[in-house]
Structure 1
């Protein structure tokens, strides 16, 4: 028997994914489109509507009572708008209202993608059973979210825990967000690859110049590739330690494409964390890879709709 069926949307700079998700976290129907991130805002919205239309063609669609959105940010859950750094056509874009119309007037919950991933990991992943956690997405960008006191903590606008734009290098490179020396500017996949290329690493015959290729080179012993991941790990460690000092988290869960590098990332991350997390109440912080994988955004968007799925904490509802 299906219970608590919801529409889940995961909107990022690379893809727009949608699903019908039940109350046990089962993804029953899927749809996906490429994000036309460099196009105008209406073109991006048409891709969202195409995903919704594909889900609506399912016989299960009438059973879905609400919509959850995890979007690249910043988001403003109160206003129902999004301004993703990596989707320039959306600035204060009224995403909640547009999705409400596209889904036949269903109520819509909006959170940042990092908060969505956190909801997923607390519901079904590595943060399950922890009352205080930071969960991070390290991919094209770096996002995050918090569980505090056993409940998801999205903050007033749905962006709390957005560790990617914490400054860890005071005179660092400018970041697209407008700041300098952000975790994202150092630790995101494109920036890992950029730094490796700038320091002399060269792709193999296939021409793959992504962070995944840099990780493969590091695994094979390339010193430049190894150093680029070590620098990313240091930035992540500094941001995690700062967060732990502020709110006393017990675990930091790291997911996203860059986390797929495995020990190439996690070994230097744990070493660097020993240099930053030195206070007695953060010294025993656990670092773990995420478990919900590529479905984290969809599961988290679904989880954000229901307080029962997020540990009993109400999240910001718009609509």
Structure 2
């Protein structure tokens, strides 16, 4: 998986300011119409602090972007945020940011002085990644696609009939929280046997440890270390990745049967494991995608790397989608 392009030369078009807000980091960038990043800012998310402290951290990133000489070319801001989100209200309730529950993110960010008379638009982080991969990455040219972020959780978004599908509240394609194991463990979302509880990086390392994998003393017991062990042929590590790949294949095949996608783009930290994930994923996908109209379905690595959320937030803001969250700082819609 490769990172998207960055540039230092002046852009030849207007820019979109983009934010990517997650449980561990708040990233910002200025992005042009080709998805090129001209300025980057990043700081840690104070996820356990108050709502005001979190907004201060976001303002710090916005302020740093606004200090760039290119800011005068910015015509809107797009935000990709961990969710769930509510597009109609412009609010977010990220699972891993406890202080933000039904938090009015669009309104709050829009109050920043630098955003005077600039549109602020919101999308879920996985939907933003989907927009980026559809416009500039591995789903380019596909009218129907599923894009997944497999990391500490599992997020996803859909492209249907050539456009990113947000759904009623902005959470369409939430594949990580479909139940694929009726007798599985409880999930923090309240359901049981969710895909995320089997296929996330956290689940992979947990299952490898349960099977007897011993992480090296010099490495964290995370999915990256499990991938190293799997590439070395360690049975417990291979089994953990096979289990995750099987769960992902079942979810992808079910989605494809429902809406007839022909490609699944898989990004996030776990996708960087390479063939230890994608080889069993392809094998299990052939097993689960059994209907004749699913024969062309394939899963491929994402192309844009960690920049996808920023690029996608900019893509959606530039397109004016979804218009229901468009807001000006003076309160007019």
Fold match by TM threshold 0.5: yes
Does the aligned pair in 2 maintain the 1:73–1:83 contact within 8 Å? yes
| Residue 16 of structure 2 corresponds to residue 17 of structure 1 | no
Does the aligned pair in 1 maintain the 2:219–2:225 contact within 8 Å? no
- C-alpha distance in 2, partners of 1:46/1:203? 38
| Residue 40 of structure 2 corresponds to residue 26 of structure 1 | no
Give the equivalent residue in structure 2 for 1:93: 103
After TM superposition, the structure 1 stretch with the greater mean CA deviation from structure 2, 293-302 or 81-90, is 81-90
Give the equivalent residue in structure 2 for 1:43: 53
Give the equivalent residue in structure 2 for 1:5: 15
| Residue 328 of structure 2 corresponds to residue 317 of structure 1 | no
| Residue 147 of structure 2 corresponds to residue 135 of structure 1 | yes
1:31-60 deviation per Cα after TM superposition (whole angstroms, max 9, x unaligned):
001112222222222211111111111111
| Residue 71 of structure 2 corresponds to residue 61 of structure 1 | yes
Q: Offset of 1:283 from its aligned partner?
A: 2.4
One of 287, 303, 306 as aligned partner of 2:315: 303
Residues 1:87 and 1:303: Cα distance change in structure 2 (over 3 Å): same
| Residue 176 of structure 2 corresponds to residue 168 of structure 1 | no
1:133-180 deviation per Cα after TM superposition (whole angstroms, max 9, x unaligned):
000000111111111111111112221111111111112111111111
| Residue 281 of structure 2 corresponds to residue 269 of structure 1 | yes
Please report the TM-score for the alignment, with normalisation by the length of structure 1.
Answer: 0.95
- C-alpha distance in 2, partners of 1:87/1:181? 23
> CA RMSD of the aligned region, Å?
1.4
Structure 2 residues without counterparts, runs of 5 or longer: 1-10, 328-333
One of 172, 195, 200 as aligned partner of 2:207: 195
Which stretches of structure 1, 4 residues or longer, exceed 4 Å deviation after superposition?
A: 313-316
Does the aligned pair in 2 maintain the 1:153–1:315 contact within 8 Å? no
| Residue 59 of structure 2 corresponds to residue 81 of structure 1 | no
Give the equivalent residue in structure 1 for 2:126: 114
Please report the TM-score for the alignment, with normalisation by the length of structure 2.
Answer: 0.91
Does the aligned pair in 2 maintain the 1:304–1:315 contact within 8 Å? no
- C-alpha distance in 1, partners of 2:51/2:219? 32
| Residue 270 of structure 2 corresponds to residue 258 of structure 1 | yes
- C-alpha distance in 1, partners of 2:53/2:322? 33
Task: Please give the residue correspondences for 1:159-238 in structure 2 after superposition, counting only pairs within 5 Å.
Answer: 159-238=171-250
- C-alpha distance in 1, partners of 2:252/2:294? 10
Q: Offset of 1:282 from its aligned partner?
A: 1.4
After TM superposition, the structure 1 stretch with the greater mean CA deviation from structure 2, 97-106 or 287-296, is 97-106
Q: Offset of 1:4 from its aligned partner?
A: 3.1
- SS in structure 1 at match of 2:26: strand
- SS in structure 2 at match of 1:51: helix
Give the equivalent residue in structure 2 for 1:241: 253
Does the aligned pair in 2 maintain the 1:252–1:287 contact within 8 Å? yes
- C-alpha distance in 2, partners of 1:315/1:240? 29
- C-alpha distance in 1, partners of 2:166/2:72? 29
Q: Offset of 1:314 from its aligned partner?
A: 5.4
1:109-156 deviation per Cα after TM superposition (whole angstroms, max 9, x unaligned):
111111000000011100000000000000111111111111111112
Give the equivalent residue in structure 2 for 1:104: 115
- C-alpha distance in 1, partners of 2:39/2:235? 44
- C-alpha distance in 1, partners of 2:324/2:283? 37
- The total of aligned residue pairs comes to 315
- SS in structure 1 at match of 2:316: helix
Does the aligned pair in 1 maintain the 2:89–2:325 contact within 8 Å? no
- C-alpha distance in 2, partners of 1:150/1:285? 17
